[in-house]
């Protein structure tokens, strides 16, 4: 055994483990049997904890990479080319992809989404239609098409299988680095205990239950596969292990940038490797494929993004939580988030997907907790370095954690949010290795009571972690469930309140329940109280108020949105809609005259309004109604509506009225064109749906009529 591998100051009968004296290169029948038991248990527990993810739909960023991603839906070689030569989110945002701090280049997972969609999402592409029209691509009504196929099940199944493969690979690697820490009993195995804690840790639910989390799984899978190949090269000196290492590392780093940290993890692991075949040159030789993969990735990323690190292009606190903070405040707050990570690793409750401003309060170095945590972290790192020479397991765990966490710590780079639970997915192996080490000490102690305690502690942790993981998975059912659950935890998050408000708005549109409407107002107003420059909160509030017939509030919210972003098309449309509705109220007497059959009076009154305001598009639209519906001059009415939409192409009411006129003429081709365009502009308009139903019924197309049946 390696000298100095145990902790000083421990009583031998309590803390000194029983070490496997068999050479690492020799695998006995008993060892093989124990390893098979370990593999079976790990696989079974992962399946038990995550089987319910197979019932989930899509949630959160799944929309950006699957539901509304041009790359995923388009398919073919064009998509493959764009996936590897463009920012990952360009498929969702279009050309405006710099909205995400630092840019995103993670083509490998995106490629798998595209392949799965093409294989299991048959018919969706045709139903969505024009993929170059991002307004059409982002139509939320298309989401139901995905749930008519096995695609959600397949995507979640693949995540589960990849995660099982990852856990088994982690076990194999740890068993190779620390083969001496295996006792006589199958449960006396440090690699097994550490991997078990990793596999069922609830903080990983976001990665496994959210399909978008596949990039994290792939990154760690590629990194550990490269590490495994490096260890195999040390044992065999076969060059093909270096080639496989290059392929594995490239796969990982093209999935997520975190893999780059294994440029330091691999030498660290080789240092701890207990092998008489290890040579000093192996440290450099095993790094060669990793360096090649890194250079290739950085070149590809630069070509795709146009820079190594894209700066944050917007002064938006949701893209840069420290935009209103000093550097000292930023560092102090970052240290606080490290403490939260540590707390969640020990006690993963409550969990949430959202740590955006102001869920975590900005602090400074006058906060005693900052200094306490800082001293603690410095002591931890110092301990890891101090024990490095003696090759203790805690030293490896600490240094592994620090290395892999560094890239997402917010200290070196601004990651665009305070923190996220998935950010410690890769790093948590260091944590579970340290905790596993202490359990292993008990499990291999000479005193029976300590061995029984180890079994009991492990069983309790597995039970509690398993229950928490299983129940947390259900939260990831869909956006509604996720947002309305996590807003109770992230109650001070601007973004989570906006998301919850938007969810309640969508629910209210279908339920028409006062409670849902009240909740939508409450969450959106809370978001604006937290940040009076929250653009999306104003946009949703304007839509909500408009549907609630509160046109003054709708106008004011839309106006605030356009003041924040004058070029925002949704804000301009909402503002125009609010203005048009206010004008429409002025025309209520005209419509009443038309309903009463007093066509001449209606004609006279609408022309009076147009004399005062010739550009009143609502009055122009009503005049078209008077001509067509009142006087029966359908062709003349169509010309009026054509003139309106030529100047106001987004004015859905004129498109609708023009479609009705064409339907009256039995010109169903043009009627369908106009009504569908009106519905595309205002998909929540039940009156347009009704007219589509009548049009298709008159046309004799029962199948299409059924889609719009009230």
* Dihedral of the alpha carbons of 250, 255, 261, 264, in degrees to the nearest 10: -30
Q: Do the Cβ atoms of 163 and 15 come closer than 8 Å? A: no
* Dihedral of the alpha carbons of 456, 459, 463, 469, in degrees to the nearest 10: 130
Query: For 645, phi and psi rounded to 5 degrees?
Result: -70, -20
Question: Residue 329: how many CB atoms within 10 A of its CB?
Answer: 15
pLDDT digits (tens, 9 = 90+) for 196-221: 999 999 999 999 999 999 999 999 99
Question: Residue 362: how many CB atoms within 10 A of its CB?
Answer: 17
The rounded percent of the chain whose pLDDT value lies above 90 is 72
Q: Are residues 607 and 571 in the same domain?
A: no
Q: Are residues 269 and 329 in the same domain?
A: yes
Tell me the DSSP string of 418-436.
S--GGGGTTTHHHHHHHHH
At residue 549 the predicted structure's pLDDT band, cuts being 50, 70 and 90, is confident
State the alpha helices, DSSP H only, in 178-213: 190-200, 205-209
pLDDT above 70 for 28: no
User: Tell me, what CATH number does 498's domain have?
Assistant: 1.25.40.10
* Dihedral of the alpha carbons of 585, 590, 596, 599, in degrees to the nearest 10: -160
Strand (E) or helix (H) holding 299: helix 287-305
Query: Under 8 Å CB-to-CB from 385, ≥6 apart: which residues?
Result: 395, 399
At residue 580 the predicted structure's pLDDT band, cuts being 50, 70 and 90, is confident
Distance between CA 506 and CA 684 in Å, rounded?
10
User: Which pairs with CB-CB distance under 8 Å and at least 24 residues apart come from 549-558?
Assistant: 551/578, 551/581, 551/582, 551/585, 554/578, 554/581, 555/579, 555/582
pLDDT digits (tens, 9 = 90+) for 441-482: 999 999 999 999 999 999 999 999 999 999 999 999 999 999
Structural domain includes residue 477: no
* Dihedral of the alpha carbons of 653, 659, 664, 670, in degrees to the nearest 10: 170
pLDDT digits (tens, 9 = 90+) for 501-513: 999 999 999 999 9
DSSP symbol at 64: I
Q: Do the Cβ atoms of 516 and 653 come closer than 8 Å? A: no
Domain-terminating residue out of 583, 610, 636 = 583
Give the residue among 397, 394, 427, 396 at the shortest CA–CA distance from 409: 427
pLDDT above 90 for 661: yes
Q: Are residues 579 and 589 in the same domain?
A: no
pLDDT above 80 for 143: yes
Structural domain includes residue 105: no
pLDDT above 50 for 104: yes
Query: Under 8 Å CB-to-CB from 331, ≥6 apart: which residues?
Result: 411
Structural domain includes residue 432: yes
At residue 7 the predicted structure's pLDDT band, cuts being 50, 70 and 90, is very low
Q: Do the Cβ atoms of 440 and 188 come closer than 8 Å? A: yes
Domain-terminating residue out of 471, 504, 532 = 471
The pLDDT of residue 313: 47
The pLDDT of residue 127: 84
The pLDDT of residue 1: 37
The pLDDT of residue 20: 53
The structural domain count of the chain equals: 3
Structural domain includes residue 67: no
State the alpha helices, DSSP H only, in 444-534: 448-475, 479-486, 494-511, 514-530
Q: Are residues 432 and 563 in the same domain?
A: no
Q: Are residues 606 and 576 in the same domain?
A: no
Q: Do the Cβ atoms of 616 and 609 come closer than 8 Å? A: yes
The rounded percent of the chain whose pLDDT value lies above 70 is 93
Structural domain includes residue 87: no
Structural domain includes residue 97: no
Q: Are residues 533 and 563 in the same domain?
A: yes
The pLDDT of residue 100: 58
Mean pLDDT of the chain: 90
Residue 250 is encoded by which pair of tokens?
A: 């490239």
Query: Under 8 Å CB-to-CB from 597, ≥6 apart: which residues?
Result: none
By three-state DSSP, how is residue 565 classified?
coil
At residue 102 the predicted structure's pLDDT band, cuts being 50, 70 and 90, is low
Domain-terminating residue out of 527, 553, 583 = 583
The pLDDT of residue 26: 52
DSSP symbol at 182: B
Q: Are residues 244 and 294 in the same domain?
A: yes
pLDDT digits (tens, 9 = 90+) for 302-319: 988 877 665 554 568 888
How many CA atoms within 13 Å lie on the side-chain side of 457? 18
Q: Are residues 199 and 224 in the same domain?
A: yes
The pLDDT of residue 575: 87
Give the residue among 456, 344, 388, 264 at the shortest CA–CA distance from 4: 388
The pLDDT of residue 684: 74
Structural domain includes residue 165: yes
Query: Under 8 Å CB-to-CB from 23, ≥6 apart: which residues?
Result: none
Domain containing residue 243: 12-50+158-471
Q: Are residues 574 and 448 in the same domain?
A: no
Q: Are residues 442 and 531 in the same domain?
A: no
Structural domain includes residue 102: no
- Helices 588-595 and 599-612 pack at an angle, to 10 degrees, of 160
Q: Are residues 352 and 408 in the same domain?
A: yes
Q: Are residues 307 and 455 in the same domain?
A: yes
């Amino acid at each position: 055994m390696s000298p100095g591998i145990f902790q000083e100051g421990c009583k031998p009968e309590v803390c000194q483990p029983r070490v496997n004296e068999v050479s690492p290169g020799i695998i006995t029948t008993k060892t093989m049997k124990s390893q098979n038991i370990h593999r079976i248990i790990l696989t079974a527990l992962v399946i038990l904890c995550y089987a319910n993810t197979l019932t989930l739909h899509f949630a959160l960023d799944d929309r950006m990479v699957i539901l509304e991603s041009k790359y995923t839906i388009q398919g073919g070689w064009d998509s493959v080319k764009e996936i590897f030569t463009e920012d990952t989110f360009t498929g969702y945002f279009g050309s405006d992809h710099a909205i995400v701090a630092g840019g995103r280049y993670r083509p490998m997972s995106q490629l798998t989404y595209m392949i799965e969609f093409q294989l299991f999402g048959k018919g969706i592409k045709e139903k969505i239609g024009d993929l170059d029209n991002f307004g059409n691509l982002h139509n939320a009504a298309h989401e139901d098409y995905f749930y008519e196929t096995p695609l959600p099940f397949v995507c979640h199944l693949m995540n589960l299988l990849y995660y099982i493969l990852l856990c088994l690979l982690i076990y194999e690697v740890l068993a190779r680095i620390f083969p001496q820490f295996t006792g006589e009993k199958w449960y006396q195995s440090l690699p097994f205990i550490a991997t078990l804690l990793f596999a069922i840790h609830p903080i990983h639910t976001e990665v496994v239950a959210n399909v978008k989390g596949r990039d994290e799984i792939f990154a760690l899978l590629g990194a550990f596969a490269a590490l495994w190949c490096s260890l195999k090269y040390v044992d065999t000196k076969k060059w093909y292990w270096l080639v496989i290492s290059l392929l594995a590392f490239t796969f990982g780093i093209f999935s997520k940038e975190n893999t780059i940290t294994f440029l330091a993890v691999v030498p660290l692991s080789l240092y701890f490797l207990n092998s008489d075949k290890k040579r000093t040159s192996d440290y450099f030789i095993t790094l060669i494929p990793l360096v090649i993969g890194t250079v290739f990735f950085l070149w590809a990323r630069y070509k795709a993004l146009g820079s190594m690190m894209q700066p944050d292009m917007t002064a938006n606190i949701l893209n840069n939580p420290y935009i209103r903070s000093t550097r000292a405040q930023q560092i102090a707050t970052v240290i606080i988030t490290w403490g939260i990570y540590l707390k969640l690793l020990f006690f993963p409750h409550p969990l949430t997907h959202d740590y955006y401003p102001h869920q975590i309060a900005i602090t400074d170095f006058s906060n005693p907790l900052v200094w306490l945590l800082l001293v603690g972290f410095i002591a931890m790192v110092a301990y890891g370095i101090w024990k490095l020479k003696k090759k203790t397991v805690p030293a490896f765990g600490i240094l592994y954690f620090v290395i892999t966490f560094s890239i997402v710590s917010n200290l070196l780079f601004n990651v665009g949010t305070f923190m996220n639970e998935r950010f410690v997915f890769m790093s948590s192996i260091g944590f579970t290795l340290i905790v596993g080490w202490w359990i292993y000490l008990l499990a291999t102690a000479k005193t029976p009571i300590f061995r029984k305690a180890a079994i009991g502690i492990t069983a309790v942790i597995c039970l509690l972690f398993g229950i928490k993981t299983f129940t947390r998975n259900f939260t990831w059912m869909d956006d509604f469930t996720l947002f309305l659950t996590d807003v109770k935890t992230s109650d001070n998050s601007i973004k989570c309140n906006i998301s919850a408000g938007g969810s309640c708005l969508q629910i209210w549109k279908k339920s028409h329940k006062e409670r849902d409407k009240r909740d939508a107002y409450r969450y959106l107003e809370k978001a604006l109280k937290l940040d009076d420059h929250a653009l999306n909160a104003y946009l949703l509030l304007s839509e909500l108020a408009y549907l609630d017939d509160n046109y003054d509030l709708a106008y004011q919210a839309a106006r605030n949105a356009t003041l924040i972003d004058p070029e925002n098309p949704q804000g301009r449309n909402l503002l125009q809609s609010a203005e048009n509705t206010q004008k429409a109220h002025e025309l209520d007497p005209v419509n009443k005259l038309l309903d009463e059959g007093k066509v001449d009076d209606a004609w006279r009154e609408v022309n009076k309004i147009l004399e005062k305001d010739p550009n009143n598009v609502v009055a122009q639209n009503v005049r078209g109604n008077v001509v067509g519906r009142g006087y029966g001059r359908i062709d003349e009415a169509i010309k009026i509506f054509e003139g309106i939409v030529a100047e106001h192409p987004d004015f859905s009411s004129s498109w609708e009225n023009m479609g009705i006129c064409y339907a009256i003429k039995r010109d169903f081709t043009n009627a369908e064109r106009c009504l569908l365009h009106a519905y595309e502009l205002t998909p929540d308009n039940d009156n347009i749906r009704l007219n589509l139903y009548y049009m298709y019924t008159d046309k004799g197309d029962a199948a299409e009529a059924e889609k719009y049946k009230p």
